[in-house]
Amino acid sequence: MRIQAIVIRIIQQFFRDKRTLGLMIVAPMFVLLLMSLVFNGEDYHPTVAVSNMPEPLKEQLEEQNVTIVDYTEQEAMEALKEKELDAFIKMNKEPEINLEGSDPTANKAVLMAFQEAMKSMQTNGGEQKLAIHYLYGSEDMELFDNFGPVLIGFFIFFFVFLISGVSFLKERTGGTLERLLATPLRRWEIVVGYVIGFGLFTTVQATLISWFSIQILGIMMEGSFFYVLLITFLLAMTALTLGTLLSAYANNELQMIQFIPIVVVPQVFFSGLFNMETMAEWLQSIGLVMPLTYGADALREIMIRGQGWEMIAQDVYILLAFSIGFMILNILALKKHRKL
Amino acid sequence: MAFSSCITVNNVTKNFGKHNVLNDISLGIQNAEIFGLLGPSGAGKTTLVKIIAGIDTATTGNVSVLGTEMPNLEIMKRIGYMAQSDALYEELTAKENLEFFGRIYGLKRTQRRQRIAEVMDIVGLTEDLNKKVNKYSGGMKRRLSLAAALLHRPELLILDEPTVGIDPVLRKSIWQELETLREQGTTILVTTHVMDEADKCQRLAMLRDGKLIAVGTPSELKESSSSTTLEEAFLTYGGAE
């Protein structure tokens, strides 16, 4: 009953504030659209395993900044699945290139390097046939298909974080939080009320943004739409609970916005939007504490690799743990305002 | 006093860090009286009523309300609290605000509708029920806050500066309404820094710099300090420190 009161109130407030509602839904779509228009490739140094490759060709490849590792065929295919390798090249009568495939930049880099290396080896000038296999993805895949899932996750996270944080902050600075704490509402009821009230909106938001990205922008989508919704919803929940939690440490809207470069932006760099293999090991592990890492990973598994529950289960549990953890911290943070 | 006492404050001290806000306050407030807390701003009135309302807790000492030590959620259902800030959802209408508070106190739908009509009539806002709060004037917001505090028929009404920004005519009618509520058995604790309002209370406590400087009926306070107005009395007690 009391939770319901909060949920109803939040919904009413949302419909009164059409701009915020628009910001949550239209702004992410707009930015995604821009990104899909402007993305271009960059230099990338692939890691490749080879078999039966003549030494001179290897040297040529290394000159093209390709890192060559020695694996057996079986090891190499395993490593491909684990994303440790970008490609496995088998030299039979005609060269066979097995690409991991989900990152178009890596695909292109491997193919370019190989063709360059072959060209400089060729003495008789005859065009050599290439057999190319994609473990995931396809040659139609564009860079945006690879970034897209991460961006969907990121924008949902970003806007939900900001809006929920500011609205909880307003509750505190406007005196209504104190007023609520003078009622028999329990602290957890306030937090759960917020989660449900906002949860309804983020569900709508996540659905619309995912639909827009897939249907209108044509982002690659191999897996189940339901799983995409599940992950975006969980990401939104994490953002919501983190936003309301951090709002306790902001005194006004501007201070809430100051959390963006500290909390939100770093997640972009460490969640896999940019290739992290060139980073120091300890830097890469920073991503482990960031919710977006798991959301982005799961979205890529679903949308690019077409994976199902087995591959995303761990991410789902971690995102759930983040949300529940932040909720508990929220309930504890409210203790600052009322002991009971 | 203990027999019909509604609020008992025992040796309450409150510190915010090193800053002392309330210093060893003891008070008894009886059932069905209008009790005024009088003092300049910064005297600790709001802190004291927050502790009584169960929002805040005392550093040392204790408070019991309706026979139960605070804070206690069951007792909080029986308290109506009007904060110093209006604490309303500006983008919602008056009705939606009251519906919200009604639900929190567990009022059923028909009960809510009936009570909302009643309290809006008391504060004279019936005409503006469906208006958004951000279209309200300052005085109207104050009255709506009062309406929200009255909604669930609390046995104890705690009002923190209820009549700030309300014009004299309406202020008079609100005080009449408070008097009616008192006659029906509601205990009312009200803070004010307006001396002529303090005169309308059955009993008064004067607070300054976190210390209780005098307690009594308005006429007792005037007599014992041999002054004609409460203002003078306040100055006498304050100066006597």
pLDDT tens-digit readout, B171-202: 888 888 899 999 999 999 999 888 778 888 99
- Domain match, A16 and A33 both: yes
- Domain match, A68 and A181 both: no
Beta strands B19-30; B5-16: pairing state: antiparallel
In whole angstroms, how large is the CA radius of gyration of chain B?
A: 18
Where along chain B do its domains lie? 1-78+191-241
Torsional sign, CA B81, B87, B93, B99: negative
Q: Are B97 and B145 in contact (CB under 8 A)?
A: no
Residues near B184 by beta carbon (within 8 Å), at least 6 away in sequence: none
How far apart are the C-alpha atoms of A77 and A64, rounded to whole Å?
A: 23
Task: Give the residue-averaged pLDDT of A137-166.
Answer: 83
Q: Assess A122–B contact: CB distance below 8 Å, yes or no.
A: no
Task: Give the residue-averaged pLDDT of B65-89.
Answer: 90
| pLDDT score of B135 | 93
**Average pLDDT in chain A:** 84
For residue A35, with 0-12 CB atoms within 10 Å meaning exposed, 13-18 middle and 19 or more buried, which class applies?
Answer: middle
- Domain match, A161 and A223 both: yes
Of the residues A79, A113, A134, the one at which a domain ends: A134
Q: Which of A5, A175, A178 sits opposite B104 (nearest CB)?
A: A5
- In the block, tokens 């659905």 appear at A207
Query: Quick one: DSSP state of residue A124?
Result: S
CA B74 to chain A, closest CA, distance in angstroms equals 7
- Domain match, A24 and A59 both: no
Considering only CB atoms, which chain B residues are within 8 Å of A17? 91
Q: Assess A4–B contact: CB distance below 8 Å, yes or no.
A: yes
Type and span of the H or E element at A141: none
Percent of chain B scoring above 70 in pLDDT:
97
pLDDT digits (tens, 9 = 90+) for B25-72: 999 999 999 999 988 888 889 999 999 999 888 999 999 999 899 888
Task: Report the candidate in A156, A180, A134, A89 with the shortest Cα–Cα distance to residue A304.
Answer: A134
Q: What is the largest CA-CA distance in chain A?
A: 88
Type and span of the H or E element at B166: none
Q: Assess B76–A contact: CB distance below 8 Å, yes or no.
A: yes
Query: Quick one: DSSP state of residue A58?
Result: H
Considering only CB atoms, which chain A residues are within 8 Å of B160? none
How far apart are the C-alpha atoms of A62 and B26, rounded to whole Å?
A: 85
How far apart are the C-alpha atoms of B220 and B225, rounded to whole Å?
A: 8
DSSP string, B82-110: E-SS----TTSBHHHHHHHHHHHTT--HH
- Domain match, A220 and A261 both: yes
Considering only CB atoms, which chain A residues are within 8 Å of B53? 182
Number of domains chain A contains: 2
What residue in B sits closest to A3 (Cα-Cα)?
B104
What residue in B sits closest to A172 (Cα-Cα)?
B87
Mutation target among A168, A176, A185 for the B interface, most CBs of B within 10 A: A176
- Domain match, A18 and A82 both: no
Query: B100–A180: do the CB atoms touch at under 8 Å?
Result: no
pLDDT at residue B2 is higher than 70: no
Considering only CB atoms, which chain B residues are within 8 Å of A16? 91-92, 132
What residue spans of chain A are helical by DSSP H? 2-16, 18-38, 55-63, 73-81, 104-121, 143-173, 176-181, 187-211, 225-247, 253-257, 259, 265-270, 281-284, 291-303, 309-333
Q: Assess B103–A contact: CB distance below 8 Å, yes or no.
A: yes
Considering only CB atoms, which chain A residues are within 8 Å of B100? 5-6, 8-9
How far apart are the C-alpha atoms of A185 and B76, rounded to whole Å?
A: 9
Q: Are A189 and A6 in contact (CB under 8 A)?
A: yes
Query: Quick one: DSSP state of residue A251?
Result: S
| pLDDT score of B120 | 93
- Domain match, A191 and A111 both: no
Q: Which of the listed ranges A212-226, A278-292, B71-85 does the model predict with the highest average pLDDT?
A: B71-85
Which residue range(s) make up the domain with A99? 47-134
- Domain match, A32 and A74 both: no
What residue in A sits closest to B81 (Cα-Cα)?
A182
- Domain match, A126 and A259 both: no
Q: Are B123 and B136 in contact (CB under 8 A)?
A: no
Q: Are B154 and B79 in contact (CB under 8 A)?
A: yes
Find residues 275-304 of chain A whose CB sits inside 8 Å of chain B: none
What residue in A sits closest to B103 (Cα-Cα)?
A5
Type and span of the H or E element at A86: none
Type and span of the H or E element at A136: none
CA A19 to chain B, closest CA, distance in angstroms equals 13
Query: A174–B71: do the CB atoms touch at under 8 Å?
Result: no
Dig out the tokens for A148 from the structure: 């897209």
pLDDT digits (tens, 9 = 90+) for A297-327: 899 889 888 888 988 999 999 999 999 999 9
**Average pLDDT in chain B:** 88
- Domain match, A231 and A120 both: no
| pLDDT score of B1 | 42
Q: Which of A12, A184, A340 sits opposite B96 (nearest CB)?
A: A12
Dig out the tokens for B12 from the structure: 């309450």
- Domain match, A224 and A159 both: yes
How far apart are the C-alpha atoms of A23 and B109, rounded to whole Å?
A: 34
Type and span of the H or E element at B140: helix B138-150
Query: B57–A339: do the CB atoms touch at under 8 Å?
Result: yes
Task: Report the candidate in B62, B23, B50, B20 with the shortest Cα–Cα distance to residue B189.
Answer: B50
What is the four-CA torsion angle of A23, A26, A31, A37, rounded to 10 degrees?
A: -170
Query: A12–B101: do the CB atoms touch at under 8 Å?
Result: no
Torsional sign, CA A139, A143, A145, A147: positive
Task: Report the candidate in A43, A36, A195 with the shortest Cα–Cα distance to residue A109.
Answer: A43
Strand intervals (E) in chain B = 5-16, 19-30, 34-38, 60-65, 68-69, 79-82, 156-160, 187-192, 203-208, 211-216
Residues near A71 by beta carbon (within 8 Å), at least 6 away in sequence: A49, A51, A79, A85, A88
Query: B73–A186: do the CB atoms touch at under 8 Å?
Result: yes
DSSP string, B215-239: EE-HHHHHHHTT-SSHHHHHHHHHH
| pLDDT score of A119 | 77
What fold, for B1-78+191-241? Rossmann fold (3.40.50)
DSSP SS3 for A101: coil
Considering only CB atoms, which chain A residues are within 8 Å of B105? 183-184
Q: Which of the listed ranges A27-36, A88-97, A209-218, A234-243 does the model predict with the highest average pLDDT?
A: A234-243
How far apart are the C-alpha atoms of A32 and A151, rounded to whole Å?
A: 7
Task: Give the residue-averaged pLDDT of A254-271.
Answer: 84
- Domain match, A33 and A155 both: yes
Of the residues A94, A115, A134, the one at which a domain ends: A134
Lowest mean per-residue pLDDT among A224-233, B92-101, B219-228: B219-228
Residue type, A23: L
Of the residues A108, A134, A160, the one at which a domain ends: A134
Considering only CB atoms, which chain B residues are within 8 Å of A174? 85, 87, 90
